[in-house]
Amino acid sequence: MAEAYRVAIVGSGPAGLSAAARAAQLGISHVLLEKTDHLSDTIYKYQKGKHVMATPSQLVLRSDCDFDAGKREAILDVWNRQASEQKINVRYHSEVVKIGGVAGAFTIALKGGAEIQAEAIVLAIGTQGNPNTLRVPGVETNTVQYQLDDPGEYVDEHITVIGSGDAGIENAVGLAADPEQRNTVTILNRSADFSRAKDANVKLLFSMRDAGRLTVMTDTAPNLLEEGFITLDTRDGVAKIPCNRVIARMGSAAPRKFIEECGIEFTSPDREAFPKLSPVFESTNAGIFVIGALAGYPLIKHCMNQGYDVIEFINGNRTLKPADEPILEGKFKDLPGRRGVEYWLEFLRDNVAILEELSPLQMREFMLDSDVHAVRKGEVVFERNAPGSSLFGIASGGVRIEIDPRDPTRAVPVRAGSVFGEVGLISGRRRGATVRASEDSILVEIPRNAALKLMASVPAAKRALARISVERQLLQIFGSGLGPGDLAEVVNSSEIKSVKAGETIMNEGEEGYDIYVIRTGSMIVEKTIGGKPVFLSYLPAGSYIGEMALIEGGKRTATVRAGIKSEVIKISGEAFKALLAKRPNLLEKARADMATRQDLNAFIEAKKDSFSGVVDMYSSVAGFLVQNGIGEATDVLLIDENLCVGCDNCEKACADSHEGLSRLDREAGRTYAHLHVPTSCRHCEHPHCMADCPPNAIHRGPDGEVFIDETCIGCGNCQRNCPYGVIRMDKVPPKKPSLLSWIFFGRGPGPGEPSKKWSYAHAKGGAEQPKKAIKCDMCSGIEGGPACVRACPTGAAIRVAPEAFLSVSRLERIEG
């Protein structure tokens, strides 16, 4: 007979543990199933001594287990102690592989064959997922592991590391680092290059290879494991090498598939989607509840509160108020009329169309991330050219979008129920128009991340937004007296296409007169001159292209390709022609735009003989910059190595303007033709770093800068996600003595970032400083602008927006 319980809780992270503690307190028969041999594997795997943060601070903790900011070890100790004191029934080594049955009589299959019966199930397995496993003969009988805790443990072994990502490289390098360990390390990569890993890691790997410390085998896959040997398929045939241990780091599979197999639906097929849940965390498979990171709440406090709540709900408690109530009260307190949280949540949900399909639970969570504003008639919501990537929904009242900066009376009204601000959200560029309230209104401001989450969880919202955004984007570009009515046909004929980096959307000499609007990403325009492609210009999101062939007739005069992964709106030439015929002033505008471009073509043609070498040079420099991420940058630091004397004053200035830590590494980074792209933030249109930040601490600021606020918990996700390696994790050093006392008395370490040794020696005792993510904030709020540029004595350091830098005007300068 299988073990049987009232509730089975799967996963002993903060969410599951807190649920089990509540069940134990209430005397409910329960079991806490944990895959590993310890509690809370995600936190267990944090780096040793990591300072764990307890954000958001306004949220009160409601759990039978304690949790306060502090060291990883201390937190795990408390939980281990409390788990035994409270007599939580933990079953270790119990990986759940299958759930069958229905509410009241579930059967839980564990790896290894055991079964457990439960009336209700709480899934709290987090989002870490399972490592992808190696599938070759011999895996069962040989030493294969998917994790490496301490590379120092292994000596005198032949170790094969499989995987070409950062984890694999770091493991291989770690195992080979100390020759005293006498390990023979080989790393295998299925493909020819290490494109998934960070540049710095790859460089390190190659330097170790060149130093003869380890072997790198590309185009190689494992084939067979035997006692003491591994057989490999290489490009040149089969090879057999000694091998005592395999470390496979081949990424991990998200737990989604497993969840779906449990009969639980997700809100949409998007990667970002979460399981569909009721207000009491119940999934679409009645009797199975989902909480914690898996439910979309990645902070430990949220997880623990939900653990408590879910058991109360299962136990029949109907009156429990969520612990986030005070936060929501705060958000609504400035709205007119004294109404409660419930009232406002319903009000917003009923009145803003894209929120309609949210469940009450989702609506609560949504509001935790969002804000409401009551604005008066005539008040400006945001200005043209202001940065901002939030989306606004109008719950009551209305606004006017002033499409013509010269004439504020020309405006498109937007009424209650609809949204605005979506262009910034989608393209990551500055606001295209000023928006003003046309009557007293209540607006919800949805930050970028919350908006993305919303689109992922409510497919209808995504579709509605796509249509609105196409329409608005077209209005903005062709805004000469058009109304949404005029555009209906154009919008209907349009389609959104995604374009891979390097792919072309039109080719020189080709027939075709469709028009393309760049929705996200950026494009580069090239023309073939003397048999070579010449870089003509760079088009950021929000530009349109292709009208020349349409208006003038004839073939395409240039090739347009994506600089990075982009999205374009393709508009049928027919529909656009019809629109032009109806609206002569639009035709005029298009002609004027076209004239500039024709000038450019003529200019290039005229110059090509006089300085074809220069044209070449310019094209290759532009190509180099696009390769180095300038195509998705909004602002980037470049160093002209014809001028840079290597004084590092830029780095020192950066450190001295920001709590003593430099956010740029001048010497590192790529160089081409003396143009150097140092390791420093590019303030990407769509910052990769923002993707996975548990406290949502990364934002786009008032000057377009991407910055990290003080709620950072130091998890390092952003550092891993930034493809340019510009984020560092570090502690703020102690304050230095003043500059004058350094000059006159030699006190302190002098200008620039103090050495680690000095910081250590002068650290204040007491509370330990946590490591936090540090990156360039473009010196926002500092009068005079970026310190690196101001402090460069020779003018070598410049900051540029790519569209200004990548323009043909540079030709004359390069020549000069």
Partner 1 sequence: MATRQLSRSALAGGTNHEGFLRHRNFRWLKIAGGLCLVSIVAYLLIDQKPHPNGGSAYGYTLGTIGALLILWLTMLGLRKRAMTRGRWSLKAWTSAHVYLGLSLIIVATLHTGFHFGWNVHTLAYVLMMIVILSGMYGITVYAALPRFLSNNREETTQTQMLDTLRSLDRQLHDAAQPLDAGAAELVRRSLEDNPFGGGLWQRLSGNYPKCPTRIAQLELRRMARGMRSSVGADPLEKVDMLLERKESALTLIRQHLRYKALLEVWLYIHIPVTFALIAALAAHIISVFFYW
CB 721 within 8 A of CB 689: yes
CB 349 → ligand SF4: shortest distance, Å?
29
Q: Which of 159, 293, 536, 575 binds ligand FAD (CB under 6 A)?
A: 293
Site string for ligand FAD, 708-747 (x = CB under 6 A): -----x-xx-------------------------------
Residues that contact ligand FAD, how many (by CB under 6 A): 36
Which does residue 800 touch among ligand HEM, partner 1, ligand FAD, none (CB within 5 to 8 A, set by kind)? partner 1
Strands 90-91 and 70-71, bridge-based pairing: unpaired
Q: Which of 162, 202, 290, 299 binds ligand FAD (CB under 6 A)?
A: 299
Cβ-based nearer residue to partner 1, 127 or 780: 780
Bridge partner residues of 677 (DSSP): 670
Strands 566-571 and 515-520, bridge-based pairing: antiparallel
CB-based closest residue to ligand HEM: 793
Which does residue 681 touch among partner 1, ligand SF4, ligand HEM, none (CB within 5 to 8 A, set by kind)? ligand SF4
Cβ-based nearer residue to ligand FAD, 44 or 603: 44
Please report, for residues 26, 331, 337, 371, 375, the alpha-carbon distance to residue 334 in angstroms, rounded to integers and kept in the order given.
39, 7, 9, 11, 11
Distance CA 393, CA 355 (A): 9
Distance CA 548, CA 558 (A): 10
Decide: is 708 part of the binding site for ligand SF4 (CB under 6 A): yes
Which does residue 449 touch among ligand FAD, ligand SF4, partner 1, none (CB within 5 to 8 A, set by kind)? none
CB 479 within 8 A of CB 579: no
Q: Which of 444, 441, 447, 446 is nearest to 374 (CA)?
A: 441
**The tokens of 539 are what?**
């088009």
Distance CA 777, CA 703 (A): 9
Q: Which of 140, 195, 116, 147 is nearest to 36 (CA)?
A: 147
Residues written for the chain: 816
Q: Which of 696, 694, 773 is nearest to 728 (CA)?
A: 773
Which does residue 50 touch among ligand HEM, partner 1, ligand SF4, none (CB within 5 to 8 A, set by kind)? none
Site string for ligand HEM, 629-668 (x = CB under 6 A): ------------------x---------------------
Please report, for residues 163, 245, 266, 593, 652, the alpha-carbon distance to residue 252 in angstroms, rounded to integers and kept in the order given.
11, 20, 20, 50, 40
Decide: is 788 part of the binding site for ligand SF4 (CB under 6 A): no
Distance CA 300, CA 305 (A): 9
Q: Which of 22, 34, 475, 626 binds ligand FAD (CB under 6 A)?
A: 34
CB 272 within 8 A of CB 449: no
Residue 313 CB-half CA count within 13 A = 22
Site string for ligand FAD, 116-135 (x = CB under 6 A): --------xxx-x-------
The span of 199-207, 429-437, 663-671, 709-717 binding ligand SF4 (CB under 6 A) equals 709-717
Cβ-based nearer residue to ligand SF4, 71 or 462: 71
Distance CA 308, CA 313 (A): 9
CB 236 → ligand HEM: shortest distance, Å?
54
Cβ-based nearer residue to ligand FAD, 296 or 563: 296
CB 36 → ligand HEM: shortest distance, Å?
57
**The tokens of 141 are what?**
């009988």
Contacts of 317 (CB under 8 A, 6+ apart): none
Strands 158-162 and 144-145, bridge-based pairing: unpaired
CB 783 → partner 1: shortest distance, Å?
4
Print the SS3 string covering 514-562.
CEEEEEECEEEEEEEECCEEEEEEEEECCCEECHHHHHHCCCCCCEEEE
Decide: is 795 part of the binding site for ligand HEM (CB under 6 A): no
Decide: is 751 part of the binding site for ligand FAD (CB under 6 A): no
Amino acid (one-letter) located at 724: Y
Which does residue 689 touch among partner 1, ligand FAD, ligand SF4, none (CB within 5 to 8 A, set by kind)? ligand SF4
Decide: is 793 part of the binding site for ligand HEM (CB under 6 A): yes
Q: Which of 322, 388, 540, 687 binds ligand SF4 (CB under 6 A)?
A: 687
CB 293 → ligand FAD: shortest distance, Å?
4
Decide: is 375 part of the binding site for ligand HEM (CB under 6 A): no
CB 670 → partner 1: shortest distance, Å?
6
Which does residue 233 touch among ligand SF4, partner 1, ligand FAD, none (CB within 5 to 8 A, set by kind)? none
CB 482 → ligand SF4: shortest distance, Å?
34
Q: Which of 717, 787, 792, 806 binds ligand SF4 (CB under 6 A)?
A: 717
Q: Which of 35, 364, 430, 527 binds ligand FAD (CB under 6 A)?
A: 35
Decide: is 660 part of the binding site for ligand FAD (CB under 6 A): no
Cβ-based nearer residue to ligand HEM, 481 or 795: 795
Distance CA 615, CA 609 (A): 9
Strand, helix or coil for residue 656: helix
CB 102 within 8 A of CB 42: no
Which does residue 647 touch among ligand SF4, ligand FAD, ligand HEM, none (CB within 5 to 8 A, set by kind)? ligand HEM
What part of residues 79-118 is at the interface with ligand FAD (CB under 6 A)? Answer: 95-96
Decide: is 483 part of the binding site for ligand HEM (CB under 6 A): no
CB 630 within 8 A of CB 802: yes
CB 664 within 8 A of CB 562: no
Decide: is 397 part of the binding site for ligand FAD (CB under 6 A): no
- The alpha helices in 611-648, defined as continuous H runs, are 612-627
Decide: is 714 part of the binding site for ligand SF4 (CB under 6 A): yes
Decide: is 800 part of the binding site for ligand HEM (CB under 6 A): no
Distance CA 229, CA 160 (A): 10
Which does residue 12 touch among ligand FAD, ligand SF4, partner 1, none (CB within 5 to 8 A, set by kind)? ligand FAD
Print the SS3 string covering 438-489.
CCCEEEEEECHHHHHHHHHHCHHHHHHHHHHHHHHHHHHHCCCCCCHHHHHH
Burial (Cβ within 10 Å: 0-12, 13-18, ≥19) of residue 91: middle
Strand, helix or coil for residue 794: coil
Cβ-based nearer residue to ligand FAD, 11 or 163: 11
Which does residue 793 touch among ligand FAD, ligand SF4, ligand HEM, none (CB within 5 to 8 A, set by kind)? ligand HEM
**The tokens of 574 are what?**
């027919």
- Residue written as token pair 């590192």: 668
Q: Which of 216, 403, 458, 712 binds ligand SF4 (CB under 6 A)?
A: 712
Which does residue 300 touch among ligand HEM, ligand FAD, partner 1, none (CB within 5 to 8 A, set by kind)? ligand FAD
CB 48 within 8 A of CB 160: no
Residues engaged in binding ligand FAD (CB under 6 A): 10-16, 33-36, 40-43, 46, 52-53, 55, 95-96, 124-126, 128, 292-294, 298-300, 303, 694, 713, 715-716
Residues engaged in binding ligand HEM (CB under 6 A): 647, 793
Residues engaged in binding ligand SF4 (CB under 6 A): 681-684, 687-689, 693-695, 697-698, 706, 708, 712-718, 722, 724, 726-727, 773, 775
